[in-house]
Structure 1
């Protein structure tokens, strides 16, 4: 069986000549050859800013670029037909498609409603700082461009627990809607800021049974329409866990499919929070290992002062590798974003070796590391270049990174590991050595089956050859601040 490898097929500022769905369709062959087994697409439905929306300001879940709403028919990424065509093209190459699901909030309401609210302290959402007051808010969603096609459900203030804009007061604040479900927030996994139910826009009220049933109906419609293979759930720390469990279980039952579900619970402090989410959801979802990303960021900025042998400390891939989705960067951490923590370029090859060539976790590659990117925001220009080492690292994962793993995470500045290979993958087996300080060397075990065989650095950083001795060991090398991936020499 081939190693699973995901690609996040977008970045926040995607601006290529081809729309994203067309690009993905045209790149299906190339993605397959690179070894990708799954593609994660951005939100495919209409956002509040129509054809300019990145997708996380969800307006209409049923509008996949089909209706004239929010001043456009197509989304930023293309039309509904182009989206489905991209999925079909990827399926032809046995590449799975993950759809991005944004359930926490809606934006761009169609009509104002007069609603009763109380202001809350933004630093402690459980503390009210006003009496009950009436405001006008954009909490009614009628979707006039769709006119009831696919669903006649109308969203109003009873479908939301909070808003951040009072139209009549021309005021931004966090307002808790006083509805039949209570004056405060619902229970969510995160207790940051007292209660982190509210994140942005119109916060969806999951205590409303009609809302939950509508979102379950939508999930089934979405699958029946597009035939995706899994879902990435956005911002789950802000969403009722009870609803997430219900939605996953019902969708799998109704569609008779064991979907790959990946949840985004951004946390760079304590792995126990991610372990707790796994516990309360019964292990139903994979989780992005944001803690490993944070370790990469710290390592890339600290240079040789960072202890490489601790790179996996306090990470999900260390604690629950079977549920960890590892990544180097994503759309939230890329330059000019609110959570910017982009890994320095010198460390990116090391970071990718750490997620692509080890046994633990399923890696997710970032779009810009394959294609590069040029963009600007707020007067600042950014150029991200494709990572030169990535194609060879992907090939090593696809064909060689199999078999028993021997770890040598035993030095502050120079670490490595080997994989013994297996019978299913001819010539498989690798040795990886990296340093964040001076050039390094380390004796590592490949196994006696490799005795007398020669290894070379597939990244061509080192020119010497390594001969495996009669005990199955070889002495491997790497340059300063670099990584080498040693593979069997082709005779």
Structure 2
């Protein structure tokens, strides 16, 4: 069931009791966000906005009441040449200071395309850039030593590191005669340089266990998880892939690639044997499918339902669809929300989308290029601070129409929560809304509004939002 509640707003008969309030309905805004670019980064009154204290006292991430934020630490075709691990390492302290709690890295082991591979065609799960095979010693991203240095640095900054795990398919094997197909197949992995998890046609469909499982990918040899030998090497042995990643390489969690290709029991069994955070890439907008997979895999799942709803809402002028069901509404503890990733990037009004996921329930993800290259980093840091410090409690949707969306986080364990106002119209907007706070002064922690209204005794208050932008209101404390 949805965890939200639609409340109709009745503004008639209420009087404004705001403290230091100014009516600016027809005034010209001094700050306007157009096509993800901030034209003038000031308050309505021209003063610099207040981003909040985005740095922790000791320069390391400290979990606030709203939790943490994940950084996807790569994009498709990052620079090759073995420099990426050090590139990310140099940014870890800044990401920690901004309030990010974890980094998701690309597949780290040696793949068929050697120095040019993004890792999604794995050959040797135990070669992190320390064996000479597939035309290179280092991976596209760097050496094993550099990867270990990055993970060590992230842990020193109190950040977790998640490995991208490709379990559906392999690539880079040698040709061998296959009695199950009557042809030669590229399924001979007996010569992997690490000497670990050697494979043959017996470990790939079709074989003695059947013709196929849930799905193959791109014509690559399809790994057979029904094989006890495969299970032994993936998660059972003390030097299994999962235990090696966790105990030797010190990864803290897992992003499972293309989980449509095998049953959710695979991730469930991995998690039972290995532990750590996990999230699956189940590319499906059907929230029932997402919830089914997450429950059966005992794992979080990327909230593709929310992803496509945000595109419809913010790019197609229909914020009413944010009333629809999404994974974060079904189970926020198993929903990883995102605005873009290395595979898909369809949302144009990204700052509104980030304002949405960073003020709502779920585990929000920041895409590397959005943060480091394309969007306003100071604005994103402000939203991260709001998420970590104010976005607590369950969610009540207070108002929606085509252009406006207002929702309340109801607070938790002494934290007051917040009210977020997203305005996709071309004009400043104002609304009376019900809060959880009686006779208390609030402010917009984005700095987009200079109002400091005081809630009425019945907890109602009038708030505002700039055009093509957002505001986030909470107690002025």
Which is worse superposed, 28-37 or 11-20?
A: 11-20
- After TM superposition, the score normalised by the length of structure 1 is 0.77
CA 1:422–1:294 in 2, change beyond 3 Å: closer, same or farther? closer
Inter-CA distance 456–17: structure 2 relative to 1 (3 Å threshold) = farther
2:359 alignment partner in structure 1:
357
Q: Structure 1: state its 5+ residue gaps.
A: 119-133, 162-176, 189-195, 253-258, 335-341, 373-383
**Retained in 2: the 8 A contact 1:289–1:324?**
yes
Q: Is the Cα contact below 8 Å between 1:206 and 1:240 reproduced in 2?
A: no
CA-to-aligned-CA distance 1:290-312 (integer Å, 9 cap, x gap): 1111112222331x2x1x13225
1:199 Cα shift?
Answer: 4.7
- SS of 2:116's equivalent? coil
Partner of residue 267 from structure 2, selected from 231, 238, 244: 244
Aligned residue in 1 for 2:74:
10
Q: Across the two proteins, how many residue pairs are aligned to each other?
A: 408
Aligned to 1:418: 408
1:140 aligns with 2:218: no
Superposition deviation, residue 58 in structure 1: 0.8
Q: 1:89 to 1:185 in 2, by over 3 A?
A: same
Going from structure 1 to structure 2, the CA distance change for 1:386 and 1:107 (only over 3 Å counts) comes to farther
- In the alignment, what sits opposite 1:159? 203
Q: 1:30: how far off?
A: 1.0
Instruction: Determine helix, strand or coil for the equivalent of 1:444.
Output: strand
Between structures 1 and 2, the one with greater strand share: 1
Contact map agreement 1:265 1:287 (CA 8 A) in 2: yes
Partner of residue 419 from structure 2, selected from 431, 450, 457:
431
Instruction: Name the CA shift for 1:207/1:300 in 2 (closer, same or farther; >3 Å).
Output: same
Alpha-carbon contact 2:80-2:116 (below 8 Å) kept: no
Deviations 1:165-220 (A, max 9, x none): xxxxxxxxxxxx3x3223x212x3xxxxxxx3455411111222111211122211
Could you tell me which residue of structure 2 aligns to residue 289 of structure 1?
303
How far did 1:417 drift? Answer: 2.1
Correspondence for 2:388 among 389, 395, 398: 398
Report the counterpart of residue 170 of structure 1 in structure 2. Answer: none
- How many Å separate the matches in 2 of 1:14 and 1:78? 12
Distance 1:207 1:465 in 2: 62
Q: Is 1:486 the equivalent of 2:466?
A: no
Relative to structure 1, the CA distance from residue 312 to residue 36 in structure 2 (aligned partners, 3 Å threshold; closer, same or farther) is: farther
Where in structure 2 are the equivalents of 1:376-391 lying within 5 Å? Answer: 384-386=374-376, 389-391=379-381
Deviating more after overlay: 32-41 vs 314-323: 314-323
Equivalent in the alignment of 1:225:
248
Q: Identify which of structures 1 and 2 has the higher relative contact order when contacts are C-alpha pairs closer than 8 Å and 6+ apart.
A: 2
Structure 1 157/215 Cα, relative in aligned 2: closer, same or farther at 3 Å? same
Q: Give yes or no for contact 1:312–1:318 (8 Å, CA) kept in 2.
A: no
Q: 2:350 aligns with which of 348, 351, 354?
A: 348
Distance in structure 2 (CA, Å) of the matches to 1:363 and 1:421? 18
C-alpha change, 1:105 and 1:413, in structure 2 (3 Å) is same
Match for residue 336 of structure 2 among 325, 330, 335: 325
SS, match of residue 418 in structure 1: strand
Q: Residue 401 of structure 1 contacts residue 429 of structure 1 at CA under 8 Å; is this kept in 2?
A: yes
The match for 1:21 is 85
Deviation track 1:305-325 (CA, whole Å, cap 9, x = no partner) reads: x1x132252321122222111
Give 1:448's aligned residue.
437
Q: Equivalences for 1:85-104 in 2 at 5 Å?
A: 85-104=149-168
Structure 1 residues 31-430: aligned runs within 5 Å = 31-109=95-173, 111-116=174-179, 134-146=182-194, 148=195, 151=196, 153-161=197-205, 177=206, 179-182=207-210, 184-186=211-213, 188=214, 196-216=215-235, 217-252=240-275, 259-268=276-285, 270-281=286-297, 284-302=298-316, 304=317, 306=318, 308-334=319-345, 342-344=346-348, 347-358=349-360, 360-372=361-373, 384-386=374-376, 389-403=379-393, 405-419=395-409, 429-430=417-418
Whether the 8 Å contact between 1:442 and 1:475 is mirrored in structure 2 is: yes
Q: CA 1:263 to 1:399, structure 2 compared with 1: closer, same or farther past 3 Å?
A: same
Task: Give 5+ residue unaligned stretches, structure 2.
Answer: 1-62
Is the 1:199–1:238 contact (alpha carbons within 8 Å) kept by the matching residues of 2?
no
The 8 Å contact of residues 11 and 330 in structure 1, kept in 2 or not, is answered as yes
